[in-house]
């Protein structure tokens, strides 16, 4: 009898401690949610570690961001299984000769969009940015045209098929949208317009824009501003294969896991060293190389403006699937569909000037 009594008491005691622990953890994570993302202790820890391979800094971009606000920018949601399984996976011939170092900005110097750093503001739209940026570059590489495609079109008009707008989405779904619906130009549907939020976005968040299907400029037609892709594919995660894709077709969109220390990246070859997992992020991969220390890296353009990282760019360790950077690479090829319908405003302006 006494044995049972003691067992029950012990069980009850265990439950009580368990509940207390859960409670403590919940309030800890709440505290963390509202604390600043940038921490001197992380900067010190990285910069005093000679094997870290990269330098940390209190990046001005995030000086007033809480952990919660930072997490909101990391808008890659796990792709639904069905979508993933029905997406073709591209591989390239293994015997393709590839350079030891490659930078898409110098490989295609006529394409200014490759080296343009954008700013997603306070919206979890990285999944849309990585996609429109890479496709814009690919239009220039393939068709010699200078265009910036609209992240707003994706955010506002792709709907649930792409995820949840400023609350995150699926990178591959963006590329599918390019194929079936096309995407208008930034000129037609700008990210930060006068009716939306002023830059750097509404505080504390930029709400998902409404789908209006009208260009802000009256002389542009939504339908005629659409640019299409012919395909939407994943790239097999072998590093050689990713390199071949970038070398042949231009920048690609990649997703990876962001940890607290990444917010502090300043220069060098990043690898996760300290801090908790914050979420999934998408960016544009534009090249590769090997550092002076002999570390192989990928070169990427982020969309956190130029005051973050290495003038807006970063390098991450290549060949070890660091933070999952090689596991989730997506792209598509630009289509010539609709191109002859897009009026060439620059040329029209030039001929107008000439006739005056
Ligand atoms: C220093 O960096 C290396 C490589 O990222 C890591 O394995 C190690 O744990 C770090 N040391 C400290 C004290 O953080
Ligand atoms: C980058 O930030 C600056 C300063 O806040 C801002 O003026 C500029 O418009 C931003 N760049 C982009 C591409 O949004
Ligand atoms: C794109 O624009 C830049 C700067 O305006 C120019 O230098 C470049 O030649 C243009 N490229 C193409 C392919 O028209």
H helix or E strand, kind and range, residue 329: strand 329-331
Q: pLDDT at position 341, please?
A: 46
What would the pLDDT profile of 198-256 be if each residue is shown by its tens digit? 544 555 566 788 899 999 899 999 999 999 999 999 999 999 999 999 999 999 999 99
Number of Cβ atoms within 10 Å of the Cβ of 112 = 14
User: What is the assigned CATH class of domain 40-355?
Assistant: alpha beta
Q: pLDDT at position 210, please?
A: 87
Dig out the tokens for 213 from the structure.
């299907």
126 is catalytic: yes
**Does residue 14 register a pLDDT over 80?**
no
Q: pLDDT at position 28, please?
A: 62
Q: pLDDT at position 21, please?
A: 47
Distance of CA 140 from the midpoint of ligand 3 (Å): 9
d(CA 34, CA 257): 21
pTM: 0.87
Q: CA Rg, the chain, in Å?
A: 23
Residue of 72, 92, 264, 281 marked catalytic:
281
Q: pLDDT at position 17, please?
A: 45
**Does residue 102 register a pLDDT over 90?**
yes
Q: pLDDT at position 356, please?
A: 27
Q: Stretch 337-345: mean pLDDT, rounded?
A: 65
What would the pLDDT profile of 50-99 be if each residue is shown by its tens digit? 999 999 999 999 999 999 999 999 999 999 999 999 999 999 999 999 99
Q: Stretch 110-139: mean pLDDT, rounded?
A: 96
Band of the pLDDT at 340, cuts 50, 70, 90?
confident
Query: Which listed ligand is nearest to 116 at the C-alpha?
Result: 2
Q: What is the DSSP letter of 77?
A: P
Residue 339 CB burial class (10 angstroms; 0-12, 13-18, ≥19) = middle
Q: pLDDT at position 284, please?
A: 98
302 is catalytic: yes
DSSP 3-state of 24? helix
Q: Which atom of ligand 1 is nearest to the CA of 45?
A: 14
Q: pLDDT at position 204, please?
A: 58
Q: Which atom of ligand 2 is nearest to the CA of 119?
A: 14
Q: Stretch 123-142: mean pLDDT, rounded?
A: 97
d(CA 203, CA 197): 9
Q: Whose CA is nearest to atom 13 of ligand 3?
A: 144
Rounded to a whole number, what is the largest CA-CA distance in the chain?
106
Distance of CA 271 from the midpoint of ligand 1 (Å): 10
List, in sequence order, every residue forming a beta bridge with 149; answer none if it has no partner: 185
- Give buried/exposed letters for 229-259 (b at 16+ CB in 10 A, else e): beebbbbbeebebbbbbbbebbbbbbbbbbb
Dig out the tokens for 113 from the structure.
């969009």
Query: Which listed ligand is nearest to 48 at the C-alpha?
Result: 1
Q: CA dist 279 to 11, 72, 94, 126, 262, Å?
A: 37, 9, 33, 12, 11
What would the pLDDT profile of 280-313 be if each residue is shown by its tens digit? 999 999 999 999 999 999 999 999 999 999 999 9
CA-nearest of 69, 163, 129 to 255 is 129
Region of poorest pLDDT, from 189-193, 194-198, 213-217: 194-198
The answer to whether the CB of 110 is under 6 A from ligand 3 is: yes
**Does residue 1 register a pLDDT over 60?**
no
Query: What's the length of the chain?
Result: 356
Tracing tokens 């690898």 back to the chain, one arrives at 271
Band of the pLDDT at 29, cuts 50, 70, 90?
low
**Residue 233 Rama label (left phi>0; alpha psi -120 to 50; beta):** beta
Pocket test for ligand 3, best of 114, 140, 146, 250 (most atoms within 8 A of CB): 146
Dig out the tokens for 169 from the structure.
């989405």
Q: Stretch 120-144: mean pLDDT, rounded?
A: 96
**Average pLDDT value for the chain:** 88
Q: pLDDT at position 191, please?
A: 86
**Does residue 27 register a pLDDT over 70?**
no
Give counts: helices (H), strands (E), the chain: 10, 10
Q: Where are the domains of the chain?
A: 1-34, 40-355
The answer to whether the CB of 273 is under 6 A from ligand 1 is: yes
């Amino acid at each position: 009898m006494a044995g049972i009594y003691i067992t029950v008491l012990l069980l009850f005691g265990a439950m009580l401690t368990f509940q207390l622990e859960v409670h403590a953890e919940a309030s800890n994570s709440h505290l963390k949610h509202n604390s600043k993302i940038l921490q001197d202790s992380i900067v010190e820890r990285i910069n005093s570690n000679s094997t870290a391979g990269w330098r940390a800094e209190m990046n001005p971009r995030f000086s007033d961001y809480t952990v919660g606000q930072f997490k909101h920018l990391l808008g890659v949601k796990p792709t639904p299984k069905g979508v993933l399984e029905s997406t073709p996976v591209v591989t390239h011939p293994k015997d393709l000769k590839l350079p030891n170092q490659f930078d898409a900005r110098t490989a295609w110097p006529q394409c200014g969009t490759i080296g343009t750093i954008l700013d997603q503001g306070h919206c979890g739209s990285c999944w849309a940015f990585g996609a429109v940026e890479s496709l814009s570059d690919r239009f220039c590489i393939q068709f010699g045209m200078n265009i910036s495609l609209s992240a707003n079109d994706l955010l506002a008009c792709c709907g649930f098929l792409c995820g949840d707008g400023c609350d995150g989405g699926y990178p591959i779904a963006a590329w599918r949208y390019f194929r079936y619906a096309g995407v208008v130009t930034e000129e037609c549907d700008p990210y930060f317009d006068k009716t939306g939020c002023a830059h750097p976005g509404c505080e504390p968040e930029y709400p998902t824009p409404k789908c209006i299907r009208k260009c802000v400029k009256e002389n542009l037609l939504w339908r005629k501003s659409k640019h299409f892709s012919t395909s939407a594919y994943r790239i097999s995660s072998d590093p050689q294969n990713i390199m071949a894709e970038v070398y042949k077709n231009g920048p690609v969109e990649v997703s990876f896991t962001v940890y607290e220390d990444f917010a502090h990246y300043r220069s060098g070859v990043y690898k996760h060293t300290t801090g908790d997992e914050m979420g999934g992020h998408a960016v544009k991969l534009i090249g590769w190389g090997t550092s002076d220390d002999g570390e192989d890296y990928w070169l990427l353009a982020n969309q956190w403006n130029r005051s973050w990282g290495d003038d807006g760019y970063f390098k991450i360790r290549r060949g070890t699937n660091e933070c999952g950077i090689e596991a989730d690479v997506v792209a598509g090829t630009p289509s010539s569909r609709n191109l002859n319908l897009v009026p060439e405003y620059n040329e029209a302006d030039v001929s107008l000037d000439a006739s005056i």
